[in-house]
Structure 1
Amino acid sequence: MPEKSIPRLQLTLLSFGFKYNEPPAASLVFDVRFLPNPYWIETLRPYSGLEPAIADYVLRAPESNRFLELLDPLLLHIIAEHDSQHKKELCLAVGCTGGRHRSVAVIEALKQRLIHLPVDLSVSHRDIDREE
């Protein structure tokens, strides 16, 4: 009889804007409205957190680095526990005010930090294209 394979954990990284409500399916929600906001820089405002200039503006701040340093071991622990218990899904949501700049940059940074894990990783930027 063939051995039944255990499906890998589906890890979803989701950015969103608090002004459009929290995502109902999120397992964990982190608020990054304390990070520097490119919205207030007129030349940066039109672009999203997918743009290198926006990601750099958000992520180069000491508070951003510290947040990611502290979050890494917590996420690795939570992901390992979910996986060891054969949980099917884990949705990590990161929110900022509009879901266009800070949360997107942080989710993209987390994707790079977690991409090596043996999980099915997906990324969604729920509010990136919403009008202000």
Structure 2
Amino acid sequence: MKAAEIVIITGVSGAGKSQAIKCLEDIGFFCIDNLPTTLIPTFVRLCTQSEHPIGRVALVIDVRGGEFLASLFDILGMLRAEGHAVKIVFLDAGNEVLVRRFSESRRPHPLAAGQSALVGIAAERQMLTRLRDEADLIIDTSTLTIHDLKRFLSQAFVMERPTAKIALSLVSFGYKHGLPFDADLVLDTRFLPSPHFIDDLRPLTGLDSPIGVFLMRASATKPYLERLMDLLDFVTPHCEEDGRAYLTIALGCTGGRHRSVFLVEQLAGHFRERGYPVNVRHRDIEKA
């Protein structure tokens, strides 16, 4: 039996699972939405033992599976024991974002039972706790466009992934807007001098060259950046050896507009020169 690459798309309702499965379909996965978990082994056998085997499969599994969710982890363990490569992708978003999306779509939350969407979201998060804990990749879609999501998934699941370098997602953010909960590694840049307190620099962002000039004049910036690159140059190959296909690294400053943005861009250039696929997201760059 030929081994298959199996991606389980899951997460909270409203976080973008339907868009994610379409993205994976576009890059060559055979996709099914809401397949009962008890049918997954049969489905995989049909895919791998057919005259023209299907090697890449993506399945949306969520709370609609109800009581079938209880058997999911045993089934995934069995598939891994058979040699299949199984990954869990968990899509999440902030509660306010989810409530707004349900309001805009005018659809009720599947677990709200006539109550507010927040009630359903809370119940769903509790049901999906173990899935989130065991996910290989957590994606916060709160600020992602459909194009951002497609680009992210394309880099994470390109056909060459078994021999390619680990995909890196570099995120800048502002601490005052909250931590990005999809980050594997969070680094603080708030000890560097802040351009916010310079009148001519305040309206700019870390993408503008005067911000870079200002920061690189500070005595701590270059040594910190060099040590950061050394640390990540050490960490990323070990993550590859551990079988990880992607790593999300978040850098934060107070507002997410200046210091963290500049350093993320520097790290992105560093890793692209070394042949890593890099996705950059400046989460809070447009926020006040």
Tell me what 2:207 maps to: 50
2:270 and 2:277 map into 1 onto residues whose CA distance is: 14
More helix by share: 2
Cα deviation, residue 119, structure 1? 2.4
The reply on whether 1:79 has 2:239 as its aligned counterpart is no
Question: 1:20 pairs with 174, 177, 180, which one?
Answer: 177
State the one-letter code of the partner of 2:265: E
1:7 and 1:18 map into 2 onto residues whose CA distance is: 36
State the one-letter code of the partner of 2:234: H
- The unaligned stretches of length 5 or more in structure 2 are 3-158
Is the 1:59–1:105 Cα contact (8 Å) retained in structure 2?
no
1:25 and 1:117 map into 2 onto residues whose CA distance is: 24
Tell me what 1:120 maps to: 277
Tell me what 2:143 maps to: none
2:276 and 2:215 map into 1 onto residues whose CA distance is: 27
Q: Secondary structure at the match of 1:71?
A: helix
Question: 1:108 pairs with 251, 261, 265, which one?
Answer: 265
Cα deviation, residue 86, structure 1? 2.3
Instruction: List, as ranges, runs of 4+ consecutive aligned residues in structure 1 with deviation greater than 3 Å.
Output: none
1:69-99 alpha-carbon deviations (Å, 9 max, x no partner): 2112110011111112220210110000000
1:36-78 alpha-carbon deviations (Å, 9 max, x no partner): 1100001110000000001111123110111012112110011
1:63 and 1:78 map into 2 onto residues whose CA distance is: 22
Is the 1:38–1:44 Cα contact (8 Å) retained in structure 2?
yes
- The unaligned stretches of length 5 or more in structure 1 are none
Larger-gyration structure (1/2): 2
TM-score with structure 2 setting the length: 0.43
State the one-letter code of the partner of 2:169: T
Q: How many residues align structurally? A: 129
TM-score with structure 1 setting the length: 0.91
Q: Secondary structure at the match of 1:115?
A: helix
Question: 2:191 pairs with 34, 53, 56, which one?
Answer: 34
1:36 and 1:125 map into 2 onto residues whose CA distance is: 19
Tell me what 2:248 maps to: 91
RMSD of aligned residue pairs (Cα, Å): 1.7
1:27 and 1:37 map into 2 onto residues whose CA distance is: 25
The reply on whether 1:64 has 2:231 as its aligned counterpart is no
Q: Secondary structure at the match of 1:62?
A: coil
1:18 and 1:31 map into 2 onto residues whose CA distance is: 9
Q: What percentage of residue pairs aligned between the two structures are identical?
A: 38
1:65 and 1:57 map into 2 onto residues whose CA distance is: 12
Is the 1:7–1:88 Cα contact (8 Å) retained in structure 2?
no
Cα deviation, residue 7, structure 1? 5.6
Is the 1:14–1:124 Cα contact (8 Å) retained in structure 2?
yes
2:282 and 2:239 map into 1 onto residues whose CA distance is: 23
